[in-house]
Structure 1
Amino acid sequence: MIKKIGVRELRVGMFIHDFSCHWMDHPFARSRLMLTSEDEIRKIIDAGIHEVYIDTSKGLDAAHAPTAEEARRDLEKELVAIAGREPAPVIRVSVADELARAAQIRNQAHQLVRTVMHDARLGKAIELDQVEPVVQNITESILRNPGALTGLLRIKNKDDYTFLHSVSVCTLLVAFCRSSGMDAELTRQAGLGGLLHDTGKALVPDEVLNKPGRLTDEEFEIIRRHPKDGYDILLKTPGVGEIPLDITLHHHERMDGSGYPDKLPADKISTMAQMAAIVDVYDAITADRCYHKGMPAAEALRKIFEWSKFHFNPQQVQSFMRCVGIYPVGTLVLLESGRLGVVTEPHETNLLSPKVNVFFSTKSNTYIKPVQVDLSKPLGMGGGDKIQSYQSAEKWRVDPMKFFVLPA
């Protein structure tokens, strides 16, 4: 049985099933292991980990700890409450109408980040006049329909992850700022910071950046230098503002002081850096990498919400969840009817009832004629169904993004 416990309850002989944190935030070569010494427990505590999941079938039990299922049910109740508090951003055009423009913007931004990284590696200055128009294009696409570009950015080639991750962080951060009511200039500065936040990775050797396995302690230290390296690069860029510098330097800081490079306490981390930290981890854990499989976006949100007790600002996490939806655009969901569909747009007032393109029957295990279902409407008006759960595309061997936009 899988149970959730605080790290102060850990004992030698327990089997760690999950560290309940982003894989870069724990110091072990594996995410599942038997605890064999007090030193290992101390290492977990010192890493800023507060809760873990243990497997009682493989090690010692914690009698009064909640099961993973109990913890999940409690979490879902909290999410349902959050979903109804504030409306989602207004959609101005449909996903279908925005998709072609979004694809061009994605490709333009991807190439720009690749160029910025290449120039930074060669010691060349970053040209802000090349970066700012791309951020403007991303912002305008988000204003028309945030789901089109964010949906496209769910698809990342493993070899292009470093570049597309920066585009995703920019896009999500702009959407986050807009849904939070921030003005145009703050949003623009945040977008610049998002697009440039990982510039310091240009100085990380490729064999470390793309290593297909757990990093050594020495390699971790190289990776952990990238916020300061990126900050130093941006300092040499004429006209760069304080917000991009702050995001670049502090997007790996954590509210409990366990982050890097400065181990800042919560009251020393700016609101924008707190927002960037959430977006950065969300995109990282949903992406496929050479060393780990990305998780579904809905599951990633639940993980971040769980971790927000210690690592992230809980109010900002809830705001981000309202921004992207409890079931983010691109999420594969199972409906009560037994159909599978891909979420294409959030509902403006009910995040539990988005628009979904259904395309597969789990009852017959076959593809069906694709159709859009608006879950906020009753039966007979294009609705009449409910989300039962989010699903793994691998489990059903389907590609939901093929049905992101239905044929005319």
Structure 2
Amino acid sequence: MATVKLSIEQLTQGLYIKLPLQWTDHPFLCNHFLIKDPQQIRLIKNLGIKFVYLIPEKSETTPLAPDTQDDAISDQESQFLAKQAEMLWQEKQARISRLKNYKLKYQRCEQNFTRSMAQLRSIMTKLKNRPLNAIKEAEMLVEEMVDALLDADSVALHLMSDNKKHEDIYCHSLNVTIMSMMVARACGLDAAEIKTIAIGSLFHDMGKLKIPSAILRKTTPLTEPEENYFKLHTKYSLDFANLSSTFPEEAKPILAQHHELIDGSGYPNQLTAEEISPYAQLVAVVDAYDRLCHPQDPKKAKIPYSALSYLFKYQKEQYNNDYLGQLIRLLGVYPPGSVVQLSNQQLGLVMSVNSDNLLHPNVLLYDPSVPSNEAPIIDLEESDIRIEQAIAPHKLPEHVATYLNPRVRISFYFDPDD
């Protein structure tokens, strides 16, 4: 939106302004806000600045005349304003401290994600020659993740930095595993059931290792023979599982049935709802969501918000609605990875959602006055700012896209919020 340079003498209630300062140089929550009371005006004037930027479209009134004189303030009011400023600064410092803690937790989460990806690559490499070792390592990985998931009262789902090429199977498998575990937890399943779902989802697409990369990476529609070859990956996944005598039997239907749809239109056997394993039905929902975000043709990729909307609007007859509803509640209306416009007209990137506060995700703000590596991440629950809409990353100006760095591949990992 267009801005107008405005002298601070012209400030009044109802103006929507942007401060010409870095986020850490003033006590307000954001650089953009609607002036609500005279105290805010006094606090702005005490910042030592001579002007602000007015955003007329968001303002509820017009500025004062240029030569408007300030009313004198009493000593009592001056003391009150000083106390108000001190309170705001203390709150701001607490927010900055929480932001630092959040970034530390995020770094820990990213380290766990990187380690899990490395373990998954190792596991997949061993499948053909040492299947027993591969399954044992997978069970250890799953055990660790499930224990961490169940030990926490609250779990945050974070957006991960993941720009690795040609690791689609690994990224997709880990994504589906993480989200399937969290959906299973939300459904009240016990540890043993969550571990079964995790093992099944971790290996659900390993059969694609036998599909030619020319088919897997083809961006134009597959021919009928190619599509038939591609659909064999469910059989190949099961074949891999059967190489090991220790692969859990109850997880095998996930490998075989995750493309079956409850209306009978899926593959390979056109099973209907009562014939499909509940575990496979759960993983199928998560798998569908991640495939909408990461189709074979990147140009057809949906942003997370649109992927959830598409599933609910057009495919809810094909998937278990209880699991679909849990996935939507898990990811929130605006899942991690969504580029959003906020009610204060700032742009941001949803970094994480807390399973207990779905409507108030943590959002990394675009603010050109702050270096991108120091960009504030605000918890919307602690502010009066709301998300107005999701925005497709390709519609962002180049400088905004560079700053926010929306991910080409949306990858997730969880961190216990304890």
Tell which structure's C-alpha radius of gyration is larger: 2
**CA distance 1:367–1:195, shift in 2 (3 Å):** closer
Is 1:371 aligned with 2:381?
no
Partner of 2:96: none
**Counterpart Cα distance in 2 of 1:205 and 1:388:** 43
Query: Cα distance, 1:275 vs. partner?
Result: 0.9
Q: How many residues align?
A: 302
Query: Cα distance, 1:182 vs. partner?
Result: 1.2
Partner of 2:395: 395
252-261 vs 384-393, which moves further: 384-393
**CA distance 1:401–1:280, shift in 2 (3 Å):** same
Partner of 2:339: 332
Partner of 1:239: 246
SS of aligned partner of 1:333: strand
Opposite residue 346 of structure 2, the aligned amino acid is: R
SS of aligned partner of 1:318: helix
Query: 1:285 touches 1:294 (CA, 8 Å); kept in 2?
Result: yes
Is 1:357 aligned with 2:364?
yes
Task: Within 5 Å, give how 1:204-353 maps onto structure 2.
Answer: 204-287=211-294, 289=296, 291-346=298-353, 350-353=357-360
Partner of 1:20: none
**CA distance 1:184–1:295, shift in 2 (3 Å):** same
Query: Cα distance, 1:234 vs. partner?
Result: 0.5
Opposite residue 261 of structure 1, the aligned amino acid is: P
**CA distance 1:266–1:252, shift in 2 (3 Å):** same
Q: What per-residue deviation string (whole Å, max 9, x for no partner) do you get for residues 300-338 of structure 1?
A: 111111134321112221111111211112321111211
**Counterpart Cα distance in 1 of 2:269 and 2:306:** 29
Opposite residue 385 of structure 1, the aligned amino acid is: I
Identity of matched residues, %: 26
Q: What per-residue deviation string (whole Å, max 9, x for no partner) do you get for residues 174-231 of structure 1?
A: 1111122211111111111111111111111122122232211101001101111111
Partner of 1:112: 119
**Counterpart Cα distance in 2 of 1:98 and 1:401:** 20
Task: Within 5 Å, give how 1:148-187 maps onto structure 2.
Answer: 150-152=158-160, 155-187=162-194
**Counterpart Cα distance in 1 of 2:385 and 2:110:** 31
Opposite residue 395 of structure 1, the aligned amino acid is: K
Opposite residue 376 of structure 1, the aligned amino acid is: E
**CA distance 1:351–1:111, shift in 2 (3 Å):** closer
Opposite residue 200 of structure 1, the aligned amino acid is: G
Query: Cα distance, 1:292 vs. partner?
Result: 3.6
Partner of 1:189: 196
Query: 1:332 touches 1:391 (CA, 8 Å); kept in 2?
Result: yes
Query: Cα distance, 1:369 vs. partner?
Result: 7.4
Query: 1:114 touches 1:163 (CA, 8 Å); kept in 2?
Result: yes
Task: Within 5 Å, give how 1:58-77 maps onto structure 2.
Answer: none
Query: Cα distance, 1:291 vs. partner?
Result: 4.9
Opposite residue 344 of structure 2, the aligned amino acid is: S
Q: State the TM-score, normalized to the length of structure 1.
A: 0.66
SS of aligned partner of 1:300: helix
Which residue of the other structure, out of 139, 145, 163, is the alignment partner of 1:138? 145
Partner of 1:24: none
**CA distance 1:107–1:356, shift in 2 (3 Å):** closer
Query: Cα distance, 1:94 vs. partner?
Result: 6.5
Q: State the TM-score, normalized to the length of structure 2.
A: 0.65
Task: Within 5 Å, give how 1:13-24 maps onto structure 2.
Answer: none
Q: What per-residue deviation string (whole Å, max 9, x for no partner) do you get for residues 89-148 of structure 1?
A: xxxx96534333332332333233333444445685562211112223333554557545
**Counterpart Cα distance in 2 of 1:181 and 1:147:** 17
Opposite residue 182 of structure 1, the aligned amino acid is: L
**Counterpart Cα distance in 1 of 2:322 and 2:196:** 22
Query: 2:200 touches 2:251 (CA, 8 Å); kept in 1?
Result: yes
Query: 2:305 touches 2:335 (CA, 8 Å); kept in 1?
Result: yes
Q: What per-residue deviation string (whole Å, max 9, x for no partner) do you get for residues 141-176 of structure 1?
A: 54557545x511x73434111111111111111111
Opposite residue 385 of structure 2, the aligned amino acid is: D
**Counterpart Cα distance in 1 of 2:273 and 2:331:** 24
**CA distance 1:307–1:157, shift in 2 (3 Å):** farther
**Counterpart Cα distance in 2 of 1:293 and 1:123:** 37
SS of aligned partner of 1:306: helix
Q: What per-residue deviation string (whole Å, max 9, x for no partner) do you get for residues 253-273 of structure 1?
A: 111101011110111112211
Query: 1:126 touches 1:234 (CA, 8 Å); kept in 2?
Result: no
**CA distance 1:123–1:140, shift in 2 (3 Å):** closer
Query: 1:102 touches 1:141 (CA, 8 Å); kept in 2?
Result: no
